[in-house]
Amino acid sequence: MIRIIGGELRGRTLETPSWDGLRPTSDRLRETLFNILTPRISGARLLDGYAGTGAVGIEALSRGASRVTFVEQDPRAEGLIRKNLARCGVADRHVIIRARLAAAAAQLGDSFDIVFLDPPYGGDELASGLDAGAALVAPGGLLVIEHARRDAAPETVAGLKRTRALIQGDSALAFYTHV
């Protein structure tokens, strides 16, 4: 069971996948993430890339983000995001794009205050996620990528510099800002 940790939707539970291959961000790691993002979240435009259950984006909406764009290629996960948004009573301030992140990034033509990426664990996915997401970060914005602890996040990527790294269990978060 996944729950919303803070904000106006605090305590709401989200549906989880009934199939293998989707690894939702744990409540504990999400809480740590949002403790760090708190000063940036109110009024922010957030991209939830590789959105899965939608938990990170819904948490952002709960805490005052102005708009969340969910990008997810799996049609089952897209349906799960829709169910979870409905379950929380979120009817607006979001858009869901069913596509690979790289394809969505090429079409978005928008930038985001916060780009959160949670690609499947593995070095190749980490690199391709960072490459696609880096171009979407607004000036003064932040890119955060969740990755396996065993896969090192690069120091720099496409004009962004890693400013913080956090490890929790088998997962890690890397934070990037413009150089």
The pLDDT > 70 percentage for the chain reads 98
* pLDDT 10s digits, 71-105: 999 999 999 999 999 999 999 999 999 999 999 99
Residue 25 has pLDDT above 70, yes or no: yes
Residue 123 has pLDDT above 70, yes or no: no
The pLDDT > 90 percentage for the chain reads 81
Residue 122 has pLDDT above 90, yes or no: no
Q: What pLDDT sits at residue 94?
A: 97
Judge contact between 71 and 50, C-beta under 8 A. yes
| Mean pLDDT of all residues belonging to the chain | 93
What are 122's two structure tokens?
Answer: 């593995």
Average confidence (pLDDT) over 26-37: 92
Residue 20 has pLDDT above 80, yes or no: no
What is the set of domains in the chain, with CATH numbers?
2-16+25-178 (3.40.50.150)
